[in-house]
Amino acid sequence: METISDAVGETFETREYSRIVSLVPSITETLFAIGLENRVVGVTKWDVYPPHARNPPRVMIGGTKNPDYDLIKNLKPDLIIANKEETRKKAYMKLREIAPVFVTYPKTVKDSIQMVEDLIHLTSLSRNAHAIETLHSLKTAYKTHKETVAPLFADLDYTVFVPIWKDPWMTINHDTYINSMLSEFHFQNIFADAETRYPMVELSEIIDANPKLVILPDEPCPFNQDDKRFLMEKTGLGSKHVILVEGSWLSWYGIRTKGGLENLYVALKHLVQA
């Protein structure tokens, strides 16, 4: 019997799980991408990729942090996929009473790619041509980025501020997937050394850190043009150095890592063009 361990050390038999509940939108998208669309029976209300992810017969089972346990139980899942950060311990223990819970916890781009490979192995798709090609495409995209895109940014020496919330301002430290995505472009996160993963910071701290680049994602906080103008004024940066991007490019691990790297390059390439 083949087995695989999850992010909290639990061991799972690799087999063709037929009734899967996903508690993480980026993982839902990944499951669809590797060919498990017909095995996913429950998703969260935040699952927007692919666009038909929430269509019947799949059931929306609440949010990532507050799932509806009765709905999930009624679905009779044989596998629940969660995330260590998103799924609270109390919820995890209650979900385990319903079905096995495979916990993910990717914090780097390499972790993200490994997670896709683990999900393929877990669900017995290791010999499935479509799944293997999807994984190969992801690995190839990452290799291409490392060889052709990342070197373009290596000499910029850009310090960067990426907020995830305002009122109060919140950002990320080194121990996060977003920070890893920034590192793939050789950007230095100005709050990388913060003690907590998602520190609250004052506007004065942001200004004093003197970032050369500000990246404003549209989730979880929907930063907009007004926020861009505000931070341009406060930091003294020009329009080309305060950039609005789709938040999923920075924070959604799994299959979206490929599009994240590619789309971030499109959004940032003006920095390296003469």
Residue range 67-88: mean pLDDT, rounded: 96
Q: What is the pLDDT of residues 176-187, one digit of tens each?
A: 999 999 999 999
Hey, CA dihedral for 38, 42, 43, 45, is it positive or negative? positive
Given a cut of 70, is residue 240 above it in pLDDT? yes
**CB of 164 closer than 8 Å to CB of 217:** yes
What's the confidence (pLDDT) of residue 143?
Answer: 98
As a whole number, the mean pLDDT across the chain is 97
Residue range 168-182: mean pLDDT, rounded: 98
Residue range 25-53: mean pLDDT, rounded: 96
Given a cut of 80, is residue 26 above it in pLDDT? yes
Number of residues assigned to the chain: 274
**CB of 205 closer than 8 Å to CB of 235:** no
What's the confidence (pLDDT) of residue 274?
Answer: 59
Residue range 247-262: mean pLDDT, rounded: 98
Residue range 70-92: mean pLDDT, rounded: 96
- Tell me, yes or no, if the two domains 3-105 and 134-271 fold the same way: yes
What's the confidence (pLDDT) of residue 1?
Answer: 72
Residue 215 to residue 228: CA distance in whole angstroms: 9
What's the confidence (pLDDT) of residue 256?
Answer: 97
Q: Where are the alpha helices (DSSP H) in the chain?
A: 25-33, 69-74, 89-96, 109-122, 129-144, 150-153, 177-183, 203-209, 225-235, 247-251, 256-268
CATH fold for domain 134-271: Rossmann fold (3.40.50)
The closest of 25, 44, 166, 142 to 95, measured between CA atoms, is 44
Residue 104 to residue 29: CA distance in whole angstroms: 14
Instruction: For the chain, give every domain's residue range.
Output: 3-105, 134-271
CATH code for the structural domain at 3-105: 3.40.50.1980
Q: What is the pLDDT of residues 130-165, one digit of tens each?
A: 999 999 999 999 999 999 999 999 999 999 999 999
| % of the chain beyond a pLDDT of 90 | 97
Residue 52 is given by DSSP the state T
